[in-house]
Amino acid sequence: MTELTVEDRLLQAIALHVPFDGWSARAFDAAVADSGVDKTVARAHYPRGAVDLALAFHARGDRAMIERLKSEDLSALRFRDRIAAAVRFRLEAVEDKEAVRRATTLFALPIHAADGAKAIWGTADAIWTALGDTSDDVNWYTKRATLSGVYGSTVLYWLGDDSTGHQATWAFLDRRIDNVMQIEKAKAQMRDNPVLSKLMAGPNRLIQSIRRPADRTGFPGRWSGPGN
């Protein structure tokens, strides 16, 4: 039998306390005590306690989504449907919705908002990377920013969805992606319009000079899963 890692032991233990105490110092201390992990070791792995453990919980969901994407054959799907499938896989990777609800509350706090935004960006980056995105210009940023918005709003809808099989959530997700596709269509029409394209020539030259970061180490939301 494979020995559980420190992360596995702490996440398993804290799951019993998060519904009552949230991702709090009290829940973290209880998880350390229940798991048998030495306090010094636990703090070495998670210096900020429950906050860092909540981020580890989120990253675990990203890894599960990536593994499922690798095992599924999405080649027959339109690209927009592959994105929808990835977001759905990410939500279906969650075994404890209450843990996500509590994490959403935690990362809504101003002091932790940057961590929450970074985690969502990381999920969007993981999805685009897994689906083979090769963009290296401003599109690298806009794709992830747009998908972050889609994913974030879908999570909030999913948390309040009690429909059978979360069918209402998947319908909401499809509508959000359709909205994004309409925006992309409008942008393409602007580029093809001779008058508007001339007006935007200057800004477009500036935008086209933007490149994705050459060194993504420490970049907000960088996907740090297998192979990176």
Buried b (16+ CB within 10 A) or exposed e, 30-64: bbbeebebeeeebeeebeebbbbbbbbbbbebbeb
The whole model's pTM is what? 0.83
The domain of 153 spans 73-87+112-208
- Residue 156 inside a domain? The answer is yes
> What would the pLDDT profile of 166-195 be if each residue is shown by its tens digit?
999 999 999 999 888 776 565 555 455 565
What pLDDT score does 139 carry? 82
What pLDDT score does 187 carry? 54
pLDDT over 70, % of the chain: 79
- Residue 26 inside a domain? The answer is no
What pLDDT score does 200 carry? 45
Would you list the DSSP string of 162-228? -SGGGHHHHHHHHHHHHHHHHHHHHHHHHHH-HHHHHHTHHHHHHHHT-B--S--TT-TT---STT-
- Long-range contacts at 164-168 (CB < 8 A, ≥ 24 apart): 166/91
> What would the pLDDT profile of 143-171 be if each residue is shown by its tens digit?
899 999 999 999 999 999 999 999 999 99
What pLDDT score does 213 carry? 63
What pLDDT score does 216 carry? 53
Q: How confident is residue 211, by pLDDT bands cut at 50, 70 and 90? A: low
Q: How many CB atoms lie within 10 A of CB 169?
A: 20
> What would the pLDDT profile of 46-73 be if each residue is shown by its tens digit?
999 999 999 999 999 999 999 999 999 9
What pLDDT score does 221 carry? 42
Q: How many CB atoms lie within 10 A of CB 134?
A: 8
Going by C-beta distance under 8 Å and a sequence separation of 6 or more, which residues neighbour residue 183?
A: none
What pLDDT score does 88 carry? 97
Quote the number of domains for the chain.
1
Residue 181 CA, chain-centre distance (Å), reads 20
Nearest to 130 by CA among 62, 77, 60: 62
Q: Which residue has the higher pLDDT, 78 or 225?
A: 78
Q: Which residue has the higher pLDDT, 173 or 134?
A: 173
- What residue has token string 């996907």? 223
> What would the pLDDT profile of 108-132 be if each residue is shown by its tens digit?
999 999 999 999 999 999 999 999 9
- Residue 150 inside a domain? The answer is yes
- Residue 81 inside a domain? The answer is yes
3-state secondary structure of 15: coil
Q: Which residue has the higher pLDDT, 166 or 3?
A: 166
> What would the pLDDT profile of 22-44 be if each residue is shown by its tens digit?
999 999 999 999 999 999 999 99
- Residue 160 inside a domain? The answer is yes
pLDDT over 90, % of the chain: 70
Nearest to 158 by CA among 221, 87, 105: 87
Nearest to 150 by CA among 102, 58, 88: 88
Q: How many CB atoms lie within 10 A of CB 160?
A: 9
Q: Which residue has the higher pLDDT, 156 or 133?
A: 156
- Residue 223 inside a domain? The answer is no
